[in-house]
Structure 1
Amino acid sequence: MKLKRTYRFAIKTSLFITFFITLLLSVFLFVFYTINWGLILAFALVSYAFSFVVIQLRVERFIYRRVKKIYDDLTLLESASLTRGSITTDMGTLTKEIDKFARDKKLEIETLKVREKYRKEFLGNISHELKTPLFTVQGYILTLLDGAIDDKNIRKKYLERANKGVERLSYIVKDLDMITKLEIGDLSLNLEVFDIVELISNVFDMFEMRAHKKNITLTFDTDYIKPVLVKADKERIQQVLANLIVNSIKYGKEKGTTEVSIENLIKNKAIVRITDNGEGLEKKHVPRLFERFFRVDKTGNRKVGGSGLGLSIVKHIIEAHNEKIYVESEFGVGSEFSFTLEKAK
């Protein structure tokens, strides 16, 4: 790194020294000899030049070594902004760069704190999600080993319950694997043209019985006589619709409604809306709705089932299509999830 010289300090200091020495010489000549203005002027110029050179070289070298130490220390902290420029002995420039460095590091530390908080929360959530079915399976197996295996009725019932716990573990691991692949771009999409209306109807048929148990009506906002063709991964979009419709049933009110509408957003985009009149969400929960394992109910209640990863998977699938997903919710009124898709030409 090269030295960037600043002369302001040397110029001013040399001027003061020259003025003082010249004044002292003038007084000396006035008292003891005759004043020779030409001699005094030449002396002043020589004194100024000598003072400037000495101060500039010596003081600058003195400061440079100490400032360079500061730059070296900051460079060890990998400050790219400081290593790009040349070293300067100007304190104003150095102060600005250090202030900028401090602000950048403060922002970086705050970001790391947020990530650390999220990491701890995520590890706590996944630990809880895995622990619950594991302990359930272990409890049933230990009960069978303690002698309950001899009773055919108990044996069958406990094995079925243990199997449900294993299935839940499989769902969590499978969903986590899918999210990981989506995040690193390792899950390829099979893009094809299909009728989104037909796909939604198929999803309605899949969950008709579940909706019937809560007297929830699955319906379109209008009769779609003509097909609405979109270009996307049909299997993944079906997974998105299934997750959103299942959630609307889980958290829907008795005798409620889940309504799906398809609208033209712009020339080459369509937007699919899934609206319900269920529980709704408080505004403070909406920003975190797509986080892994995030649940509004902090008591750990899992009566509604699921892996806790459904909405996170939905978000990643939609973003893998380079599309957007939106959510609007009002507590006690209901929720609306919507996402965009590319229309087929």
Structure 2
Amino acid sequence: MIHHRLFHRSGPGTRHRRPRPRPPRGVTARDPGRLTDVVARHGDRAPALALDVTDKDRVAEAVKKAESAFGLIDVLVNHAGYGYLVALEEGEDEEVRALFDTNVFGVVDVTRAVLPGMRARRAGHVVNISSLGGLAAFGATGYHHATKFAVEGLSESLAAEVAPLGIKVTIVGPPAFRTNWSGPSTRQSAVTLDDYTESAGTRRTSTLATHGHQPGDPARASEAIIGAVEAEEPPLRLLLGKAAYDIVRPGWTPPGPASPPGAMSPSEPTTPWPRPRVCHQRERPAPDAWHGSSLRCRVTRVRPVRGRRSALRSTAPDSPATAGRCPLLAAGRPL
């Protein structure tokens, strides 16, 4: 049995929901008071640590406390982040830099702090929570997309660097989930320009209207992530829900500005899709094949197995077994 000492950094856009059979082994938050219920249920097995991912000293302190409590950290989940609903021209410098400090440099600093212990043991798993917005971009969230595209690139590079050391990396790509991302945690600019009312403005309104009604279930997402971590060969990329899966299938094009986040359009794209970078796994094709039409990308699907929590298997996305289905769940039901 795998016993995970899990260091989970989270932000205002997340809910601390984990499958009940497995208590967390150390969780962090900007406001530890939000973790009272977790600590009450699991006691010493889930100490709550205050962590501001934009403060390197507090990052180092939290990692040290976690390692002192459990002896090691073998799974790191980088989950802190928030959104910024604004057209590119409306963006405010201070807000944009704060967004990157949390969504990108927070991931970098926490990972840097945890990696020495993993390298010493030649084992560990870094799970970086990206987004549907790390696969494709929409209006009014360009700066957020930029942070998630950065996380995707950093994660792929990290995976190549630490693979010889026995350390695994998984990028999780969720679509719209029932968290605070499109609610209280999302920031907006004090500056709005009338010329963007029909594009970024409409998208901003539709995004805020989805708060509390997103199709994705964070608890089921946690189950899928745990299944990936426990797999003998964990995937580099784990797509959650049909919306994220559809983006890497041919025939997808960005929806209109009034569509809610995660909405899919079945029309043919004006340029070939998917881009190879969004759907390959640890076994990559030769570089000269990346831009060819013959490239057959593979995605990961989690399916229940009797007597076990889950199993991972790879299937071609255009095969009969997965046609029109969610990569993680049968019948294309959203997480």
Task: Say which structure is richer in helix.
Answer: 1
Smaller-chain TM-score bracket: under 0.3
TM-score normalised by the chain length of structure 1: 0.21
Larger Rg: 1
